[in-house]
């Protein structure tokens, strides 16, 4: 099969609105959490989140177009624009009919949906909806806007698998290039769920941390006092390219995407399989797709949401797959810094793995005080401080409600 490399990256995150700022925040252990500014949350159980800060869509998107885009789609176009430019793409360097977009979002335009329905419910019953209501709200519209912006006429759709959505989008893009159906793909995901219905809904499930007295330390994967995840928002974009196509135009290459896998827990709508069976199966599937042995992996960016059940189940899966090699791995959850970006999590965490492979640095799991005694203390969770080491290959895990699991492996590029 044809080889797939990464030639461009883009990000808008709670740690920074471009790749350099995002990476700098990660390796310095910066928390993106703070009190919510998007809406009045005074009556909510959780009053903090990892919001995107100082976001100005007008630097990338026309003012008229901004009004027609839900925030999740604004994040998508913003990140995709950076990735496109970073890849050095121009109209002369790709065939539009062999260039596509596969994007991921777990929810899509939730804020647009909420505001339109809220306005209707407060009216006299007359249906005064915006003509842009549906085009702003639907989860696939971001991929459509990206394709129109860059003239990509190849494969175009959106993957929806909860918090595994953008990992699935990366895997599908890899497959399209491998199979010869495309040469260039813009992929990734975005989410904008720091709003009333999302925060209220996750609070009702008791999924969010309620550590209102200390937002910056609330996301604490693997710590015995963890009490739920911290909501994040933003987007991440990758340009994937067939190797010979990239070499022919002299593109820089960050890393190679060498494997992807998917599985289902078939267990519960929100809780992971208690023995981590779905996670174990997806890691095995991803290694098999990459043609790699467990001992060839150096770093795992875990799903690590900071929930009591999820962190334990994933660790069981890692030990089940990697055996003694698990103790030689670096493991970290960057959600301790970014919060949980839901459908966009896989994109920014795949980017994290790519930058870790490129720079030989493993970002930390911050906010660790006392490790959960149910976890193996001999595992290297990269607590509180980044670690330098050779990272030849990294695995990124993402798991979503409904039992959806997806993982990818990135490796140093060797011609």
242-251: long-range contacts (C-beta < 8 A, 24 or more apart)? 242/2, 242/3, 242/4, 242/5, 242/177, 242/182, 242/183, 242/184, 243/2, 243/3, 243/4, 243/5, 244/2, 245/94, 245/183, 245/184, 246/5, 246/7, 249/88, 249/93, 251/7, 251/87, 251/88
Nearest CA among 152, 149, 155, 169 for reference residue 81:
149
Distance CA 27, CA 179 (A): 36
Residues near 194 by beta carbon (within 8 Å), at least 6 away in sequence:
36, 38, 49, 51, 231, 232, 233
Distance CA 48, CA 151 (A): 39
| Cα separation of the two ends of the chain | 15
The catalytic position among 163, 262, 353, 404 is 163
Nearest CA among 138, 18, 153, 120 for reference residue 72:
138
Please say whether the dihedral angle defined by the alpha carbons of residues 303, 304, 309 and 315, taken in this order, is positive or negative.
Answer: positive
Cα→Cα distances 281→124, 177, 204, 266, 329, Å: 53, 24, 31, 12, 19
Distance CA 364, CA 384 (A): 5
The catalytic position among 145, 245, 340, 404 is 340
Question: What token pair was written down for 240?
Answer: 């994937």
Distance CA 252, CA 89 (A): 11
The catalytic position among 245, 303, 353, 404 is 303
Please say whether the dihedral angle defined by the alpha carbons of residues 362, 368, 369 and 373, taken in this order, is positive or negative.
Answer: negative
Question: What token pair was written down for 406?
Answer: 């997806």
Angle (CA) 40 43 49, round 5° = 60
273 is catalytic: no
Question: What token pair was written down for 47?
Answer: 């009053």
Phi, psi of 184 (to 5 degrees): -135, 135
Asked if 158 and 142 count as a contact pair (C-beta separation under 8 A), the reply is: yes
Using the structure block, give the residue that is written with the tokens 């913003």.
78
303 is catalytic: yes
145 is catalytic: no
Residues designated as active site:
163, 303, 340
């Amino acid at each position: 099969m044809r080889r797939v490399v990464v030639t461009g990256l883009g990000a808008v995150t709670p740690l920074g609105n471009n790749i350099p700022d995002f990476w700098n925040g990660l390796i310095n252990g910066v928390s993106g959490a703070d009190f919510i500014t998007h809406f009045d949350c005074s009556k909510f159980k959780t009053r903090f989140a990892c919001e995107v800060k100082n976001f100005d869509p007008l630097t990338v998107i026309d003012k008229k177009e901004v009004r027609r885009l839900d925030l999740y789609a604004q994040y998508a176009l913003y990140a995709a624009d950076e990735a496109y430019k970073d890849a050095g793409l121009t109209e002369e360097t790709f065939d539009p009919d062999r260039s596509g977009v596969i994007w991921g979002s777990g929810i899509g335009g939730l804020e647009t949906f909420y505001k339109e329905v809220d306005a209707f419910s407060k009216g006299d019953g007359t249906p005064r909806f915006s003509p842009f209501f549906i085009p702003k709200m639907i989860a696939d519209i971001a991929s459509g806007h990206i394709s129109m912006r860059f003239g990509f006429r190849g494969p175009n759709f959106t993957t929806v698998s909860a918090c595994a959505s953008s990992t699935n989008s990366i895997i599908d893009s890899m497959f399209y290039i491998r199979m010869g159906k495309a040469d260039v793909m813009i992929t990734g995901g975005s989410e904008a769920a720091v709003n009333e219905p999302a925060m209220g809904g996750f609070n009702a499930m008791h999924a969010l941390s309620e550590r209102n007295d200390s937002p910056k330390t609330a996301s604490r994967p693997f710590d015995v006092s963890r009490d739920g995840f911290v909501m994040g928002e933003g987007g991440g974009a990758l340009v994937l390219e067939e190797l010979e196509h990239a070499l022919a135009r002299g593109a820089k290459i960050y890393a190679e995407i060498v494997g992807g896998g998917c599985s289902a827990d078939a267990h519960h709508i929100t809780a992971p399989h208690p023995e981590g069976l779905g996670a174990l199966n997806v890691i095995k599937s991803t290694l098999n797709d990459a043609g790699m042995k467990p001992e060839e992996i150096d770093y795992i960016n875990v799903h690590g949401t900071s929930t009591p059940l999820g962190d334990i189940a994933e660790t069981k899966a890692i030990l089940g797959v990697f055996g003694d090699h698990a103790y030689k791995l670096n493991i970290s959850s960057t959600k301790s810094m970014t919060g949980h970006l839901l459908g966009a999590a896989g994109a920014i965490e795949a980017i994290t793995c790519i930058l870790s492979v490129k720079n030989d640095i493993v970002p930390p799991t911050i906010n660790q005080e006392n490790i959960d005694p149910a976890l193996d203390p001999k595992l290297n969770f990269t607590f509180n401080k980044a670690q330098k080491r050779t990272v030849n290959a990294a695995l990124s895990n993402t798991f979503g409600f409904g039992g959806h699991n997806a993982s990818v492996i990135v490796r140093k590029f060797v011609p």
